[in-house]
Amino acid sequence: MSFRSHLEDLLGTVIAAARAPSLNMSLPALPSGQLLVLGAGKAGALMASNVERHYAALGDLSRVEGFVVVPYGHGEDTKKIKVIEAGHPSPDAQSLRVGTSMLEAATRLGSDDRLLMLVSGGASSLLVVPRPGLSLSKKRMATNELLRSGLPISLVNGVRKRLSAIKGGRLALAAAPAPVTTLIISDVPDDNPAEVGSGPTVPDSCSTEQVLRAIDEAGIELSASLRAMLDAPDAETPFPGDRRLPLLDTRVIMTARDCLDAAEQKARGWGWRVLNLGGAIQGEARDVAAHQAELARKVQGEMVAGQAPVLILSGGETTVTVRGAGRGGRNTEYLLALGLALEGRTFEAIAADTDGIDGMGANAGAYVDDTGLLRARTLGIDLERELNDNNSLNVFDKLQTLITTGPTRTNVNDFRAILLAH
């Protein structure tokens, strides 16, 4: 019996939870002046719509205005907070226009005003203002180099901040003396507010020297041009406690762990036993797959006949070091590596990005089980070769087990589930 529909239902549960953060308890009272609402990320339109509903219910939208930037296709109808679409994962000219406009709007604020910043996954690419002396094309080349390097997202964003005039707390500097409230839907493994969207209104406690040391320790060699950009004197971001910063109120209102807990509760309601590994898992996709396959083999080896199925849940954000010429994303690469590691055993698994886009494809992720691997072999697919060529999308496309949700207008990173039966 296949439980694919159940696993897809759990993915839907996670996405639904990520789309319903509790904003009302976190939103500030209206200031005596203007409430400028700015935002960036895949959940930007959804968050802006919720903000409008909150203040409309209080009977006063007259002092609320602003705009948010979201990826193309992630728009939503709003009244006072304009939704603008721009490039993701590679920033475009629209990203630059929006970022420049946000900086200009923030600088016009006074002490009687307040900036409300809405941040979610994807903000780093969508909100772009290169540091003085850098062009958008150079910034884009640097971003592409980082995304293909296999660096953890925390280090990728650490570099992005130092190439930017708006990230790493610099937007908060521009808003001074107006106080700043930042609401965050986290898409980073440790839910550090400074890392989500590269922290436009959150100062960075990590120095440029520390970022470069961590990159060196990870064994990643940056190009000479990118290294020179980071060595520049004006690359450093403001630190917490910087006297130039206004009063900051920063809150993470939704995390991957919150959403995984919702999936766990549903699975337990079906009578399944659940092993929840949490939402902070990082690492190379195929390495994470190898570790979780080892855990799955151990769990399955301890099961007895008639025992309820065991579900292994995890979230976080893996990376893929691109060495081949194929097509795929981190979730399909994880699934292909997992399937190969569990070949010959009975299992089912799903992996998908909660934003609805795995890598550059139109799919969110995929589903795999032991019968699918057998079918792939009979179709003449060389699974090992496809994995080595980073061509996981091709495998699941041929098996017709890709999962397509369309843009979910939210993001708490990856959702992975392995179902084991005796």
For residue 62, which phi and psi values (nearest 5 degrees)?
Answer: -65, -30
DSSP characters over 218-274: TT----HHHHHHHHSGGGPPPPTT-TTS--EEEEEEE-HHHHHHHHHHHHHHTT-EE
Q: Give the span between the Cα atoms of 116 and 74, in whole angstroms.
A: 20
Average pLDDT over residues 123-134: 87
**Beta bridge partners of residue 310, listed in sequence order:** 273, 420
- Cβ pair 352, 403 in contact under 8 A: yes
Question: What domains are there in the chain, each with its CATH number?
Answer: 4-13+257-420 (3.40.1480.10), 31-254 (3.40.50.10180)
What pLDDT sits at residue 139? Answer: 75
What pLDDT sits at residue 216? Answer: 84
pLDDT band, residue 135 (cuts 50/70/90): confident
pLDDT band, residue 134 (cuts 50/70/90): confident
What pLDDT sits at residue 252? Answer: 95
Quick one: which of 142, 119, 121 has its CA closest to 131? 142
Average pLDDT over residues 118-137: 88
Quick one: which of 287, 333, 292, 315 has its CA closest to 411? 315
Question: Within 13 Å of residue 317, how many CA atoms lie on the same side as its CB?
Answer: 27
Q: Give the span between the Cα atoms of 206 and 204, in whole angstroms.
A: 5
Question: If 0-12 CB within 10 Å is exposed, 13-18 middle and 19+ buried, where does residue 141 land?
Answer: middle
Using the CB atoms, write b or e for 158-189: b if 16+ within 10 Å. Answer: bbbbbbbbbbbbbbbbbbbebbbbbbbbbbbb
- Tokens 């060196």 label which residue? 216
Name every residue whose Cβ is closer than 8 Å to that of residue 7 and which is 6 or more positions away in sequence.
348, 349, 350, 367, 417, 419
More confident residue, 189 or 4: 4
What pLDDT sits at residue 137? Answer: 84
What pLDDT sits at residue 235? Answer: 84
Strands (E), 186-228: none
What pLDDT sits at residue 1? Answer: 60
For residue 111, which phi and psi values (nearest 5 degrees)?
Answer: -70, -20
DSSP characters over 30-67: PPSS-EEEEEESTTHHHHHHHHHHHHHHTT--TTEEEE
Quick one: which of 39, 109, 155 has its CA closest to 409? 39
Average pLDDT over residues 357-371: 90
| pLDDT tens digit sequence for 330-339 | 999 999 999 9
Greatest CA separation for the chain: 69
Token readout for 362 is 């139109």
Question: Within 13 Å of residue 315, how many CA atoms lie on the same side as its CB?
Answer: 32
Using the CB atoms, write b or e for 80-94: b if 16+ within 10 Å. Answer: bbebbbbbbeebbeb
- Cβ pair 243, 176 in contact under 8 A: no
For residue 307, which phi and psi values (nearest 5 degrees)?
Answer: -75, 150
Name every residue whose Cβ is closer than 8 Å to that of residue 219 and which is 6 or more positions away in sequence.
none
Provide the percentage of residues in the chain whose pLDDT is more than 90: 68
Cα torsion at 84, 88, 94, 97 (round to 10°)? 90
Range with lowest mean pLDDT among 66-75, 187-196, 211-220: 211-220
Question: If 0-12 CB within 10 Å is exposed, 13-18 middle and 19+ buried, where does residue 278 land?
Answer: middle
| pLDDT tens digit sequence for 14-32 | 999 998 887 777 899 999 9
What pLDDT sits at residue 22? Answer: 75
Token readout for 176 is 């001074």
More confident residue, 315 or 223: 315
Average pLDDT over residues 83-95: 90
Average pLDDT over residues 80-102: 92
**395 to each of 59, 115, 231, 322, 351, how far by Cα in Å?**
54, 47, 42, 17, 14
Token readout for 18 is 């990520």
Q: Per mean pLDDT, which of 152-156, 259-263, 321-325 is the most reliable?
A: 259-263
pLDDT band, residue 129 (cuts 50/70/90): very high
- Given a cut of 80, whether residue 48 has pLDDT beyond it is yes
Provide the percentage of residues in the chain whose pLDDT is more than 70: 99
- Given a cut of 90, whether residue 361 has pLDDT beyond it is no
What pLDDT sits at residue 290? Answer: 97
- Cβ pair 115, 179 in contact under 8 A: yes
pLDDT band, residue 119 (cuts 50/70/90): very high
- Given a cut of 70, whether residue 318 has pLDDT beyond it is yes
Question: One-letter amino acid identity for 302?
Answer: E
| pLDDT tens digit sequence for 230-246 | 888 888 899 999 999 99
Q: Per mean pLDDT, which of 58-62, 142-146, 266-270 is the most reliable?
A: 266-270
| pLDDT tens digit sequence for 136-149 | 888 778 777 777 77
What pLDDT sits at residue 316? Answer: 92
Average pLDDT over residues 242-259: 94
pLDDT band, residue 321 (cuts 50/70/90): confident
